[in-house]
Amino acid sequence: MELIVGKASFCDYHSIQEAVDVLDRKEVYSEARERDTIFILEGVYEECVIIHNSNLRVCGIGRVEITRSRHALQHNEQGEEIGTFGTPTVFLGGSDLLIDNLIISNTAGQGEGIGQAVALTAYCDRAVIQNCTLRAHQDTLFTGPLPPKPKERAKFGGAEIRHKHDQYRQLYVNCYIEGTVDFIFGGATAYFEHCHIHSLRHYDNQPTYVTAASTPQGQPFGYVFHSCWLTGDENMTPVFLGRPWREYARTVWVKCRLGEHIDPAGWHNWDNRDNERTVVYQEYDPEHAHELRNTRVDWADCLADGVEQWDRRTVFGGDVFWEENSYVYK
CATH number reported for the structural domain that contains residue 294 in this entry: 2.160.20.10
Q: Is 311 one of the annotated active-site residues of the chain? A: no
The answer to whether the pTM exceeds 0.85 is yes
> Torsion angle of alpha carbons 124, 130, 133, 139, nearest 10°?
30
Tell me how far apart the alpha carbons of residues 194 and 210 are, in angstroms, rounded to a whole number. 16
- Residue of 241, 255, 252 whose CA lies nearest to 286: 255
For the chain, the distance separating the N- and C-terminal CA atoms, rounded to the nearest angstrom, is 14
Average of per-residue pLDDT across 204-214: 97
Q: Name, of 30-34, 80-84, 159-163, 173-177, the range with top average pLDDT.
A: 173-177
Q: Which of 182, 263, 274, 298 is catalytic?
A: 182
Tell me how far apart the alpha carbons of residues 177 and 179 are, in angstroms, rounded to a whole number. 7
- Whether 20 maps to a domain, the answer reads no
Q: Domain count for the chain, please give it.
A: 1
- Whether 78 maps to a domain, the answer reads yes
Quick check: 328 pLDDT over 60?
no
- The whole domain housing 119 covers 69-324
**% of the chain exceeding 70 in pLDDT:** 97
The whole-number pLDDT of residue 330 equals 38
How does pLDDT run across 235-271, given as a tens digit for each residue?
Answer: 999 999 999 999 999 999 999 999 999 999 999 999 9
152 or 321, which is more confident: 321
The whole-number pLDDT of residue 100 equals 97
